[in-house]
Chains A and B, each alone.
Chain A
């Protein structure tokens, strides 16, 4: 089974702090994604990466950055956390190459971040 592991289940940070959310997958997937989930808004894509050191902006990249130094790890960075970034963050991975658009995403359990 594909395992996508997010380093923290719950996180509480203060406004202005730099926050790192870590995600590791063990299935050698090329694609990795960060979504945030908010009530009434569903899942919104923040960033994704289809290869090491590659990144693409999603629908709501403002206030976030990402890092993909190794294939299995995809980090989401909040440079200066703000209260409107309080949310559930979901990491996912999928197979890449030409079949990527039909590959199911495999999700981690999520990190519930609270910024106070």
Chain B
């Protein structure tokens, strides 16, 4: 069965520190997608990135970077030089190829608190 584990429940850092959020997944499919979402205090989940199982290239977007390693079934998210606005709950999610309407399976989330 598919599963997403975010072992870090809460992380607290001081502004400008780098922080890595861990995500480990389980799936039997060879074709799947991984996602990261951000949920700021306002409540709405915001899509950050999508990565398919055939693309292990790391991705960088500004201060955000993602490291996808199939060998360890991990899809970790790093924020460089964190800012207070990065404070949010971050969710990792998995979607498997298959019939239409497949839903995302979410991890339990990591609450990141960035203090000034």
| A residues apposed to B, CB below 8 Å | 30-31, 33, 35, 40-45, 48-51, 54, 56, 58, 88, 90, 92, 96-98, 100-102, 104-110
Contact of A31 among B43, B45, B101 (CB under 8 A): B101
- In the complex, whether B66 has a CB less than 8 A from a CB of chain A is no
Which B residues lie within 8 Å of A109 (CB)? 42-44
Q: How large is the interface on B (under 10, 10 to 19, 20 to 34, 35 or more residues)?
A: 20 to 34
Contact of A102 among B46, B95, B101, B105 (CB under 8 A): B95
Residues A30 and B103 in contact in the complex (CB < 8 Å), given A43-B91, A102-B50, A104-B50:
no
Q: How many contacting A-B pairs (Cβ < 8 A)?
A: 72
Q: Is the interface of B mostly helix, strand, loop or mixed?
A: loop
Chain B residue at smallest Cβ distance from A104: B47
A97 pairs with B100, CB closer than 8 A: yes
